[in-house]
Structure 1
């Protein structure tokens, strides 16, 4: 495919691995957060909304630095997870964490919009027929939200796939260990004669991003159709 070399394939494979785990680990928390923001009434809701979207507002380098301070080997959370043998700084796991945090706001927004579009009258009707809250959520709310959840997961995956600033600040750019597609492109562009390798990875990145965007739009259209809008 596109004549990718070993180092390029390694960057693509690592990016897919990082993006997959970033999406899988952050999606459940995104569901809970979206539920709280869409329907919750509690003190500090505005602060939670700000905290969720803060990674999109701050420079990614700042996010990466904060991750290094908190999850580095000397950071409070870094020392805590080290007890269980989990390290983040300068590891691929750190790249997954950075990708998860940067993609989290997109996930939450997509899920929240899907939840807000659910007709509450359907849930109320099910409740009056004797269905429990859990059953209403699992049989009515969740299926209606499904396209939005899938769209959020795809957007989060794509964001994690393309993350650069937070990743290179937190886990550096170590070939075969933390070098993802964006950091590999950056590296190749710094080396004379490696423009071809950078261009190939750029094409791969465009194809993956375009595929994610198209899939997200299709799912959003399906959601609107199911809701009769």
Structure 2
């Protein structure tokens, strides 16, 4: 049975992960489409930037977010003055950090789905008079839907488990920025906190394994659909 503090951390993690995926997914689809279907100057640079959060230490990513989106940072100051949106030491900052860390996984899964679609199917729809937008929404998007779902699941799982960038950017404030990994870390720092930490670890394992299995199943659906099975 989860205690109030554990339940609050779980609820906040689910909220942060959901918003991270909802906001990042449209941009991930657009980026994946550009990388899979377009040729342009700087494409390798874009690909490198997309995958940068996977190779940078999460603490570095969190510090860069603090410099950029903190209240004294260029983006953070502008967003606060123009829209009243604050990221530093708020749950919104946790969602931003989680979304950035999960973004490469979403783009990769969706890009593979784009590359698996036969362009002749889209060309056939275009020859019948369908515009680009209609071809995308009626032909391409249904074909890549399993890949989009797989990317969203992977991004959600990554966001749920994000720790380094989050704690560096928004700290570990109970009820405000203390997500599931941060709560596990906090419980391990106090005597007698091991049972609560163990419960949260078991919960995190269940979610992670479920997400990987679902992503793998959706990936097979992509292959089967393209193969006409």
After TM superposition, the score normalised by the length of structure 2 is 0.98
Structure-2 separation of matches of 1:184 and 1:97 = 19
- 1:55 lines up with 2:60 in the alignment: no
- Residue 19 of structure 2, aligned match among 11, 21, 26: 21
Deviation at 1:193, TM superposition (A): 0.7
Question: What pairs up with 1:55-94 in 2 under 5 angstroms?
Answer: 55-83=53-81, 84-94=83-93
- Give the distance between the partners of 1:224 and 1:182, measured in 2 at CA: 34
Kindly provide the CA deviation profile for residues 83-140 of structure 1, in whole angstroms up to 9, marking residues without a partner as x: 1111000000000000000000000001000000001111111112222211111111
In structure 2, the partner of 1:174 is 173
Written as runs of structure 1 = structure 2, the 5 A alignment for 1:115-134 is 115-134=114-133
Question: What corresponds to 1:7 in structure 2?
Answer: 5
The runs of at least 4 consecutive aligned structure 1 residues that moved more than 2 Å come to none
- Root-mean-square deviation (Å): 0.8
1:180-225 residue CA offsets vs partner (Å, 9 max, x unmatched):
0000000101111110000000011001111111111111111111
Instruction: State how far apart, in whole Å, the 2-side matches of 1:215 and 1:132 are.
Output: 34
Task: Name the CA distance, whole Å, in 1 between partners of 2:166 and 2:131.
Answer: 44
Aligned to 2:184: 185
Q: Output the CA distance in 1 between the equivalents of 2:76 and 2:153.
A: 28
| 2:49 is the alignment partner of 1:45 | no
Gaps in structure 1 of 5+ consecutive residues: none
State the alpha-carbon separation in 2 of the partners of residues 128 and 13 from structure 1: 49
